[in-house]
Structure 1
Amino acid sequence: MRKICDVFSLCLTLILGLASLWTVGGVKQVNAIEADLSSHLVAIRADFSGDRIQLYGSINTPGDVLVIMRGPDTDFKMLRKSRVAGIWMNTAGMTFEGVPSFYATASTGPLEEITSSATRALNNIGFNNIGLDLPVTKAAGSLARDWKNSLIRNLMRSGNYQLESAEVIFLGEHLFKTEFELPSNVPTGTYFVSVYHLRDGQIVDARTTPLSVSKIGLEAEIYDYAHLNGAMYGIIAIFIALISGWIGHLAFRKG
């Protein structure tokens, strides 16, 4: 009988231990930041003029929230014009490799106030930490800064780099929301939206969710065919142009 009681006691202890672990795990899960997008697909059609993507989330402990939307990496070719013999010509060029094609942030405060410099550097937060610096072998000093600033100006002018952070608005003590604007020329590909819960400049928790920006419909089929069959697409385009010109010629001649 005593052995049975000992076995029962051991089993009860194990059950309570597992329950305790489950409860601790449950608390940890509850304390984690949660967030999701209003849509995981941005469909680009012929009449696409931009879009807005909303993000909703919650945190269960006090702190700040930072959201970063980053587009697929690509290479950017920069050209510099100079006046040569009275004519403006491209006299220098620079290629930035592996640069985010889109970059925007939203936060509950200025990045410098809610994050530490070490946190920003470690997690690629801010324009100074996303790989825009040129290798010394390409350019250094003021020349490298000039090229970098020119790249940022061009990307900001296109709307694909947004210097000012959007506002993260709390709907209560725990719930929050924010919104990102995508321009009409937004690059296609897979985007990643990272949401950070911060306290005292350090990251408490984070979540990342993908966002697909894709051409759909007839435009997508033409785009894919042009990239996969460049030579044939060129021939077809020339043929269509010739036919259109001939039809126009006939129409004007009859007129």
Structure 2
Amino acid sequence: MAIWAAVFSFLFVLTAKETKAIEADLSSHLVAITAGFSGDRILLFGSINSPGEVIVVVRGPDTDFKVQRKGQVAGIWMNTASMKFESVPSFYSIASTGPIEEISSSATRALNAIGFDNIGLELPVTKAAGKLADDWKDALLRNLLRSGNYQLENAEIVFLGEHLFRTEFELPANVPTGTYSVSVYHLRDGQIIDARTTPLTVSKIGVEAEIYDYAHLHSAMYGIIAIVVALVSGWIGHLIFRKG
């Protein structure tokens, strides 16, 4: 970690004389998910060449989410309704130098999809409206926060001197794969004066990646193999316990 700090500090000091208001980069642009993956931390370093505030947004690839609502039917709890949200970020986390409501205007946040209220969780009125839509949205947020893929508390941005800053993001063990965008905003008086976006790839590698690809490319055969393996394992277990 100390080596990375020295390297990034040197690079950003060299570029501080340039006209760009902000520079930023990641310690690594690849998160490799292996069989023993238990989560990871992403380190971001940056530099601003003038006073202001900084917001960093990490956004995962868009995907669809289905939310189920349970109810009692004849005394039995079961799924009684469902709602599908389309093109929702699979991961969302923010770091900032202060509360985003204080360091950025509402128009700025809306235009740049900063904050949970601006990332496309709204339902079309043809699906739900009013309090019903809010209830479905709250249920989706609860699920995503519980999974760790949405992080309610903003991560802290720490300044290392007058210009250099750093922050870290936590990726849970169940982090979705795909190409993420890491956007860094330099703000003054609530408005963005410069921004940088860099990609981050989260990918399965090794045997787990091969199994994952096979399961998606040959789903029928994968299902048959899974059933056969389960039956053989059960039969072997039965033989062992019968002998015991």
Is 1:147 aligned to 2:140, yes or no?
A: no
What residue number does 1:129 align with? 118
Q: What are the equivalent positions in structure 2 for 1:69-148 lying under 5 Å apart?
A: 69-148=58-137
Does the CA-based 8 Å contact 1:31-1:61 persist in structure 2?
no
2:232 is matched by which residue type in structure 1? I
Deviation of 1:28 (Å): 8.6
Is 1:171 aligned to 2:133, yes or no?
A: no
Please point out which of 187, 192, 202 is paired with 1:203: 192
Percent identity (aligned) = 79
- Change over 3 Å in CA distance of 1:170–1:28 after alignment to 2: closer
Q: Tell me the distance in 2 between the aligned counterparts of 1:92 and 1:67.
A: 36
Q: What are the equivalent positions in structure 2 for 1:1-255 lying under 5 Å apart?
A: 29-255=18-244
Question: Radius of gyration: which is bigger?
Answer: 1
Q: Tell me the distance in 2 between the aligned counterparts of 1:189 and 1:31.
A: 29
Q: Tell me the distance in 2 between the aligned counterparts of 1:152 and 1:63.
A: 31
Give a deviation string over 1:189-227, Cα, whole Å, max 9, x none: 110000000000010100000001111110110011001
Q: Tell me the distance in 1 between the aligned counterparts of 2:16 and 2:182.
A: 25
Give a deviation string over 1:132-181, Cα, whole Å, max 9, x none: 01000000000000000111111001111111111111000000000000
**Structure 1, unaligned stretches of length 5 or more?**
1-25
What residue number does 1:21 align with? none
What residue number does 1:15 align with? none
Does the CA-based 8 Å contact 1:67-1:105 persist in structure 2?
yes
2:97 is matched by which residue type in structure 1? T
Matched residue pairs, number? 230
**Structure 2, unaligned stretches of length 5 or more?**
1-14
The structure carrying a bigger helix percent of its residues is 1
Deviation of 1:245 (Å): 2.3
Q: Tell me the distance in 2 between the aligned counterparts of 1:148 and 1:124.
A: 16
1:156 is matched by which residue type in structure 2? L
